[in-house]
Amino acid sequence: MVLSMLGMGIFGVLYGLSPNIWVAIVMVMATGFLNAPSGISRRTILQRNTPRIMRGRVFSAFFVSRDVVNLVGMAGAGLADIFDVRLLIVLSSVVLIAAGFLHQVLPGIGRPAEEWHRSLKLLRTAPSAPKIGAGRPATMLDLDKLIDVLPELGALAISRRTSFLADSKVAKAAAGEAILKVGDAPASAFFVISGNAVAGIPEGDEYRSLSSMGPGDFFGEIGAITGSPRTANVVATDDLEVLEVTSNTLKSLLELPEMNALINSKMTERLERTAASPDFVRLQRHDQSDLADLRRRRPKGQVGARV
């Protein structure tokens, strides 16, 4: 996005200073080609970082904002009757150059490459990395801390929070320690109280579907609900504190509409991105009927714990 914006701005300046029509045509063509990377990466960022149930509204808001700005720009073209048109083109191109530098420092976009390299290095050592400790029993204070970063859990009635904490544990991991490894048993899910972790699906010496998680995020929910073995490695990138809940406890959270929508959205988003789970084909349908079936599944004779 940075290179695209800077390139369009630079070629725009050259277009405004073009000595003849042929040079101007070449500059406009270059600007058009450089616009594509910006548009594609912008849509990719929106797609990956917007919850499934919010994508329609987020994209609609973006398109409306974009079109309004385009209309303002078209109206501003009338300034060519007052100012030299070359000057207007150069000035608008300088705005694009400034936007390119702004993209470099925007949160989440200008992420330093060293941070990704460090995350990849930690993931590559995951198979031999020490595992997170067993932890201690979770307390009401731990749940309050989690609700601060995950407000949806606040819908959990006070009278039912004790049963939620009954089999839950709180564990801490230092940077480089693994929380989950490929092939681990899918017995539980994890909610991040503080710190950060990175997850990735190994493919040889490389990783795909790399994603980072911070306070309020959760992971391991797919295995905990579907019973599928872990398909990703998850490693702490700094001091991490997580609340671990059992499979039955996680399933019981689906009784809360707020958590139901959040967990289902995150599960479907991750399955669509990875396409690596045997449950992917079932869960990718928009009606979510099979996902509801997975929520209802219980081993014969076993009733899931209620929150």
Q: Examine residue 306 and state whether it is found in any structural domain, yes or no.
A: no
Say what the pLDDT of residue 229 is. 86
Angle at 205 between CA 42 and CA 125, to 5 degrees: 100
Q: Examine residue 302 and state whether it is found in any structural domain, yes or no.
A: no
Instruction: Tell me the pLDDT band of 231, cut-offs 50, 70 and 90.
Output: confident
Q: Do 90 and 214 share a domain, yes or no?
A: no
**C-alpha to C-alpha distance for 154 and 156, rounded to whole angstroms:** 5
Each residue of 268-283: pLDDT tens digit?
A: 777 766 654 444 444 4
Of 105, 131, 155, the residue at which a domain comes to its end is 105
Of 105, 133, 153, the residue at which a domain comes to its end is 105
Res 292 pLDDT > 60:
no
Each residue of 249-265: pLDDT tens digit?
A: 988 888 888 888 888 87
Q: Examine residue 260 and state whether it is found in any structural domain, yes or no.
A: yes
Q: Do 93 and 123 share a domain, yes or no?
A: no
**C-alpha to C-alpha distance for 247 and 250, rounded to whole angstroms:** 5
Identity of the residue numbered 41: S
Say what the pLDDT of residue 51 is. 63
Q: Do 89 and 141 share a domain, yes or no?
A: no
Residues β-bridged to residue 246: 188
Q: Examine residue 205 and state whether it is found in any structural domain, yes or no.
A: yes
Q: Do 125 and 54 share a domain, yes or no?
A: no
Name the residue range of residue 89's domain: 2-105
Six-digit token string for 106 = 């925007």
Q: Do 202 and 229 share a domain, yes or no?
A: yes
Q: Examine residue 78 and state whether it is found in any structural domain, yes or no.
A: yes
Say what the pLDDT of residue 212 is. 82
Q: Examine residue 110 and state whether it is found in any structural domain, yes or no.
A: no
* The pairing of beta strand 206-213 with beta strand 178-180: unpaired
CATH code, domain with 285: 2.60.120.10
Say what the pLDDT of residue 177 is. 94
Q: Do 134 and 265 share a domain, yes or no?
A: yes
Report pTM.
0.61
Say what the pLDDT of residue 278 is. 45
How many structural domains compose the chain?
Answer: 2
Each residue of 164-199: pLDDT tens digit?
A: 898 899 999 999 999 999 988 888 999 999 999 998
Q: Do 60 and 140 share a domain, yes or no?
A: no
Q: Do 241 and 123 share a domain, yes or no?
A: yes
Say what the pLDDT of residue 209 is. 62
Of 49, 74, 105, the residue at which a domain comes to its end is 105
How would you list the strands of the sheet with 206-213, edge to edge? Answer: 178-180, 233-236, 197-203, 206-213
Residues β-bridged to residue 115: none
Q: Do 144 and 97 share a domain, yes or no?
A: no
The answer to whether residues 269 and 51 touch, using CB atoms and an 8 Å cutoff, is yes
- Poorest-confidence range of 50-64, 108-122, 146-160, 252-266? 108-122
Task: Identify the residue with better confidence: 285 or 75.
Answer: 75
Say what the pLDDT of residue 126 is. 87
Q: Examine residue 304 and state whether it is found in any structural domain, yes or no.
A: no
Q: Do 87 and 124 share a domain, yes or no?
A: no
Q: Do 57 and 167 share a domain, yes or no?
A: no
Six-digit token string for 129 = 């990395």
Q: Do 25 and 61 share a domain, yes or no?
A: yes
Task: Identify the residue with better confidence: 304 or 93.
Answer: 93
Q: Examine residue 52 and state whether it is found in any structural domain, yes or no.
A: yes
Find where tokens 């970082």 sit: 49
Say what the pLDDT of residue 108 is. 62
